[in-house]
Structure 1
Amino acid sequence: MRRDFVTGPVHRFAAIPVAVTAGIVAVVHLTLAAVPRSWLDEDLMLAIGRHHLDIGAVDQPPLTPLLARLADTLAPGSQLVLAVPAVLATTAAVVLTALVARELGGDARAQSLAALGQATSIAAAQFGHWLTPYTLEPALWTAFLWLLLRRHRTGDDRLLLAAGLVAGVAAQTRFQVFALGAALVLALLAVGPRNLLVRRAIWAGAGIALLVAAPTLVWQAAHGWPQLGMATAVAQENTAIYGHPVVVAAHGLAVTGPLTLGLAVSGLLALLRDPQWRPLRYLAVAYLLLFIAVLVSTGRHYYLTPIYPVLGAVGAVALQRRRERRGPRRAWPVVTAGAVLATAGAASSVLLASPAFAAPLATTTAATWSALPDEDRARTALVAVPYVHAALLDAAPPDLGLPAVHGTNRAYGWFPPPPDTSDAMLLVGSPDLFRPYFTSARPLRTVTASTPLGTYGGLVEENTTIWLLEDRTVTWQQMWSELRDLSVIGR
Structure 2
Amino acid sequence: MTVSTTVTGPETATREHAAVVPFRWKPVLAVSLALTAVLLALAGRYGYYMDELYFRVAGDHLGWGYVDQPPLVALLAKAQTALFGDTLFAIRVVPALLAGLSVWVAAHLARELGGGGGAQVLAASAAAGTLATMAAGHVLHPTAVDHVVWVTLCWLLVRLLRTRDSRLWLAIGAVVGIGLLAKYLVVLLVAGLVAGLLVAGPRQVLRDRFLALGAGLGLLIALPVLVWQAPHGWPQFSMASEMSEPLSVGGAVNFLIGQPLMTGLFLTPVWIAGLTGLLRRPQWRDYRALAVAYLVIAVVLLLVGGFGRYTEGLLTSLTAAGCVPAAAWVRTVPRRIVLAAAVVVNAVLAAVMCLPVLPASAYAEDSPLAGFGDAQLGQTGWEELTEQVATVYRGLPPAERARAIVYGQNYAEAGAVDRFGPARGLPPAYSGLNSYHDFGRPADDRTVVLAVGVDPAAFGRHFARCVPAATLHFALPHLEEGKPVLLCHDPVQPWDRLWPQLRWVGTF
- 1:52-451 paired onto structure 2 within 5 Å: 52-236=61-245, 243-258=250-265, 260-320=267-327, 330-348=335-353, 349-350=355-356, 351=360, 352-354=375-377, 356-369=380-393, 372=396, 376-396=400-420, 399-430=423-454, 431-449=456-474
Question: What corresponds to 1:44 in structure 2?
Answer: 54
Deviation at 1:401, TM superposition (A): 4.6
Q: 1:78 to 1:256 in 2, by over 3 A?
A: same
TM-score where L is the length of structure 1: 0.88
Contact in 1 for aligned 2:176/2:218 (Cα 8 Å): yes
Q: 1:165 to 1:37 in 2, by over 3 A?
A: same
Q: Secondary structure at the match of 1:417?
A: coil
Deviation at 1:182, TM superposition (A): 1.3
- 1:7-26 paired onto structure 2 within 5 Å: 7-26=17-36
Q: 1:36 to 1:109 in 2, by over 3 A?
A: same
Deviates more, 1:194-203 or 1:427-436: 427-436
Distance in 1 between the 2:229 and 2:425 partners? 32
Distance in 2 between the 1:232 and 1:461 partners? 24
Q: Secondary structure at the match of 1:469?
A: strand
Contact in 2 for aligned 1:71/1:81 (Cα 8 Å): yes
Within the candidate set 487, 492, 507, 1:468 is matched to 487
Distance in 1 between the 2:106 and 2:175 partners? 16
Deviates more, 1:437-446 or 1:64-73: 437-446
TM-score where L is the length of structure 2: 0.85
Q: Does 1:478 align with 2:497?
A: yes
Deviation at 1:80, TM superposition (A): 1.7
Deviation at 1:395, TM superposition (A): 4.0
Q: Does 1:2 align with 2:7?
A: yes
Contact in 1 for aligned 2:264/2:346 (Cα 8 Å): yes
Contact in 2 for aligned 1:444/1:468 (Cα 8 Å): yes
Distance in 2 between the 1:433 and 1:338 partners? 51
Q: Residue type matched to 1:21 in 2?
A: V
Deviation at 1:11, TM superposition (A): 1.2
Q: Residue type matched to 2:463 in 1?
A: F
Q: Secondary structure at the match of 1:213?
A: helix
- Cα distance per residue 1:51-79 (max 9 Å; x no partner): x3322112111111211112222343322
Deviation at 1:82, TM superposition (A): 1.5
Distance in 2 between the 1:391 and 1:246 partners? 34
Deviates more, 1:348-357 or 1:153-162: 348-357
Contact in 2 for aligned 1:258/1:337 (Cα 8 Å): no
Q: Residue type matched to 1:347 in 2?
A: V
Q: How many percent of aligned residue pairs carry the same amino acid?
A: 33
Q: Secondary structure at the match of 2:310?
A: coil
Distance in 1 between the 2:422 and 2:41 partners? 23
Contact in 2 for aligned 1:120/1:259 (Cα 8 Å): no
Q: Secondary structure at the match of 1:462?
A: coil
Q: 1:69 to 1:274 in 2, by over 3 A?
A: same
Q: 1:433 to 1:39 in 2, by over 3 A?
A: same
Deviation at 1:405, TM superposition (A): 2.5
Q: Does 1:33 align with 2:43?
A: yes
Deviates more, 1:397-406 or 1:76-85: 397-406
Q: Residue type matched to 1:31 in 2?
A: A
Q: Secondary structure at the match of 2:270?
A: helix
Contact in 1 for aligned 2:267/2:342 (Cα 8 Å): no
Q: 1:238 to 1:129 in 2, by over 3 A?
A: farther
Q: Residue type matched to 1:300 in 2?
A: F
Deviates more, 1:220-229 or 1:470-479: 470-479
Distance in 2 between the 1:17 and 1:101 partners? 14
Deviates more, 1:435-444 or 1:242-251: 242-251
Deviates more, 1:407-416 or 1:204-213: 407-416
Q: Residue type matched to 2:429 in 1?
A: V
Q: 1:331 to 1:48 in 2, by over 3 A?
A: farther
- Cα distance per residue 1:110-168 (max 9 Å; x no partner): 10111111011023234522111112222122222222222223333332112211111
Q: Secondary structure at the match of 2:472?
A: strand
Q: 1:58 to 1:237 in 2, by over 3 A?
A: farther
Q: 1:229 to 1:329 in 2, by over 3 A?
A: farther
The runs of 5 or more residues in structure 1 that have no matched partner are 452-457
Contact in 1 for aligned 2:245/2:304 (Cα 8 Å): no
User: How many matched pairs?
Assistant: 478
Q: 1:270 to 1:41 in 2, by over 3 A?
A: same
Deviation at 1:343, TM superposition (A): 1.9
Distance in 2 between the 1:481 and 1:450 partners? 35
The runs of 5 or more residues in structure 2 that have no matched partner are 1-5, 361-374
Q: Secondary structure at the match of 2:430?
A: coil
Contact in 1 for aligned 2:129/2:350 (Cα 8 Å): no
Q: Residue type matched to 2:257 in 1?
A: A
Deviation at 1:95, TM superposition (A): 0.7
- Cα distance per residue 1:23-72 (max 9 Å; x no partner): 2212211111132323122222223224x332211211111121111222
Distance in 1 between the 2:419 and 2:305 partners? 29
Contact in 1 for aligned 2:97/2:137 (Cα 8 Å): no
Deviates more, 1:252-261 or 1:161-170: 252-261
Q: 1:201 to 1:398 in 2, by over 3 A?
A: farther
Distance in 2 between the 1:127 and 1:181 partners? 20
Contact in 1 for aligned 2:266/2:346 (Cα 8 Å): no
Distance in 2 between the 1:397 and 1:472 partners? 23
